[in-house]
Structure 1
Amino acid sequence: MSLQLVCLFFANSIITNLVFSCYFYVCNIGFTMILLDYYVRSLSYKVNRWANIIASIITITFVIGGGSLYLHYIFFASMEVICMLMIIWYSWKWK
């Protein structure tokens, strides 16, 4: 599909810049978690724990809510949800 057709499709749809911005921020939650945890080290353990739990819940909601019924998506989404549940578990058990 050419770029002109893609632009024409999105120009005539209800997808707006706000939707693209929200999608961008939700997709970068995991990256932000890594930056805050490993590189910045500016968050206390209590704040970091809750940031990880909230970010994981948002990511799980995004993965399940934006899903499809293709077998490959179900497989990778299941793996991602399992990893997010592990992050929640380890964050909750953090000292």
Structure 2
Amino acid sequence: MTPPLTPATPQTPPLVSREAKQFERNSAKKRVLDAFLAGHDWLVVAASNAVPVTTARRVAAKGSIEQQPRGGVRTACIKMTVEVMFKLEEYLDEQADMTMA
């Protein structure tokens, strides 16, 4: 049998949603940015708000707390341009058995 819960018995805290955590992180970054723009010691603000120093430096250097978009296709990774694909389609239209070896 488990003992009844008393005020001295530790309990697990309720789960916090991902959105709430993200809001807290963004709020802390905003406080660091505001301190930097106001000319205050932004490293102290970062330390007191549990913001990593590297994140605080990036926020101060960038001047924004916006995150860069993730995923998607980079232009450097595209090996075939639209013009090349169009030319290949022209070749295949002219001679359809070109791909058969």
- TM-score of the pair, normalised by structure 1: 0.28
Higher relative contact order at CA 8 Å, sep ≥6: structure 1 or structure 2?
Answer: 1
More helix by share: 1
Larger radius of gyration: 2
